[in-house]
C-alpha cells in the first residue's frame, strides 16, 4: 500500500470508511480521557471525519494529519471555515481558530511542527494500515504526541475474508504496539452488527469492535 492508493481512493471518492454521522464510540468514551476544553486532540489520518465537527463543537482544539489534500479541502468546506494555507517543511498547513491540519506524510511530521497534544483519537488510522506499517505508525504517533493518552478503535476478524482496509488488528498485536503505555483499558468489546463492514466481510462473519484507552502514569 502506497500514497498513490489513498490519493486514488479520494479522487474516485471510494471512501467507504467515511461516516456521515459522528461515531457514537467517540461520544460514549471520550469522557474517559478526562479532558476539559480547550484541550488539543490529535486525529491521525483524519480524512474529512465529522468527528472533528463534534470535537470543535464541544470546545476542544483539533490537530490532524492527512495525506489527501482533497479530503482536507472537503473537511473545511463542510465546516464552513475558510482556512489559512501555508507550506511548512513539505506539508500544507491548513489552519483556523482551534484547528490545524497538516497535509502530507505523517511519518515526516515532527513533534515541533505538530505542537502540544493532550490526547489522540484514533478511529480509522491504525486499521487503515497493513501489518508491516503498523509498528512504525504506533511509534510515530507516540513520539509526535509525547506519549499523550489515546482513545483507539480497532476491529478483529478473519483477515482471509477480506484484504482490507480496514484491517484486522488482533489484541495480541495491539498490546505489542502500545506496550509503551502503563495503563491499557479495554472500554468496549462487542460484536459489530448492522454495519457496512458486516456486508463487506460477510454477514455470517464475527467482527469484534474494540475500544481502548491507553495512558501513562
User: Which of the four pLDDT bands, split at 50, 70 and 90, describes residue 16?
Assistant: low
Specify the pLDDT at position 6.
60
Residue at 162 is within a domain: no
Residue at 21 is within a domain: yes
45 is in an annotated binding site: yes
Residue 200 has pLDDT above 90, yes or no: no
Which among 157, 212, 153, 204 is positioned nearest to 179, based on CA atoms?
212
Residue at 124 is within a domain: yes
What percentage of the chain has pLDDT greater than the value 70? 92
User: Which of the four pLDDT bands, split at 50, 70 and 90, describes residue 194?
Assistant: confident
CATH of the domain at 29: 3.40.50.150
Residue at 201 is within a domain: no
Q: pLDDT tens digits for 29-52?
A: 999 999 999 999 999 999 999 999
Residue 124 has pLDDT above 60, yes or no: yes
Residue at 198 is within a domain: no
Which among 74, 77, 24, 5 is positioned nearest to 46, based on CA atoms?
74
129 is in an annotated binding site: no
In this structure, the dihedral spanned by the alpha carbons of residues 79, 45, 3 and 8, taken in order and rounded to 10 degrees, is -40
Which among 137, 127, 140 is positioned nearest to 166, based on CA atoms?
127
DSSP state, residue 96: E
Mean pLDDT over 6-32 rounds to 77
Q: Is the dihedral of CA 136, 138, 110, 123 positive or negative?
A: positive
Residue at 74 is within a domain: yes
66 is in an annotated binding site: yes
Residue at 95 is within a domain: yes
Residue at 82 is within a domain: yes
Specify the pLDDT at position 182.
97
Rounded Cα–Cα distance for residues 75 and 212 (Å) = 26
- Domain housing 149: 3-154+169-184+210-215
Residue carrying C-alpha cell 513520539: 143
Helix pair angle (69-79, 3-11), 10° resolution: 40
Specify the pLDDT at position 184.
98
The tally of domains found in the chain comes to: 1
Q: pLDDT tens digits for 59-89?
A: 999 999 999 999 999 999 999 999 999 999 9
Q: Cβ contacts of residue 157 below 8 Å, gap of 6+? A: 168, 201, 205, 206, 207, 208
Specify the pLDDT at position 87.
97
Residue 158 has pLDDT above 60, yes or no: yes
Q: Is the dihedral of CA 40, 42, 47, 51 positive or negative?
A: negative
54 is in an annotated binding site: no
CA separation, residue 72 to residues 22, 50, 111, 139, 151 (Å): 17, 12, 21, 24, 22
Rounded Cα–Cα distance for residues 18 and 45 (Å) = 12
CA separation, residue 87 to residues 71, 84, 90, 133, 192 (Å): 17, 10, 7, 26, 41
Residue 190 has pLDDT above 70, yes or no: yes
> What's the chain's average pLDDT?
93
Reported pTM: 0.93
Of 85-94, 142-151, 196-205, the one with minimum mean pLDDT is: 196-205
User: Which of the four pLDDT bands, split at 50, 70 and 90, describes residue 112?
Assistant: very high
Are 142 and 136 in contact by the 8 Å Cβ rule? The answer is: no
Rounded Cα–Cα distance for residues 80 and 128 (Å) = 27
Amino acid at each position: 500500500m502506497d500514497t498513490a492508493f489513498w490519493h486514488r481512493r479520494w479522487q474516485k471518492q471510494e471512501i467507504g470508511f467515511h461516516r456521515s454521522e459522528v461515531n457514537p464510540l467517540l461520544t460514549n468514551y471520550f469522557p474517559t480521557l478526562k479532558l476539559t476544553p480547550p484541550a488539543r486532540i490529535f486525529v491521525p489520518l483524519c480524512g474529512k471525519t465529522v468527528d472533528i465537527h463534534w470535537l470543535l463543537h464541544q470546545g476542544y482544539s483539533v490537530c490532524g494529519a492527512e495525506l489527501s489534500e482533497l479530503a482536507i479541502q472537503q473537511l473545511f468546506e463542510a465546516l464552513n471555515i475558510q482556512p489559512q494555507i501555508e507550506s511548512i517543511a513539505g506539508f500544507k498547513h491548513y489552519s483556523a481558530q482551534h484547528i490545524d491540519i497538516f497535509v502530507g506524510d505523517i511519518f515526516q511530521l515532527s513533534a515541533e511542527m505538530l505542537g502540544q497534544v493532550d490526547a489522540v483519537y484514533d478511529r480509522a488510522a491504525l486499521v487503515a494500515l497493513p501489518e508491516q506499517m503498523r509498528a512504525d505508525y504506533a511509534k510515530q504517533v507516540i513520539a509526535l504526541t509525547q506519549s499523550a493518552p489515546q482513545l483507539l478503535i480497532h476491529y478483529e476478524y478473519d483477515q482471509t475474508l477480506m484484504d482490507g482496509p480496514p484491517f484486522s488488528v488482533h489484541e495480541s498485536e495491539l498490546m505489542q504496539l502500545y506496550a509503551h503505555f502503563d495503563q491499557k483499558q479495554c472500554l468496549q468489546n462487542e460484536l459489530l452488527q448492522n454495519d457496512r463492514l458486516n456486508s463487506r466481510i460477510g454477514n455470517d462473519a464475527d467482527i469484534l469492535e474494540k475500544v481502548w484507552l491507553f495512558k501513562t502514569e
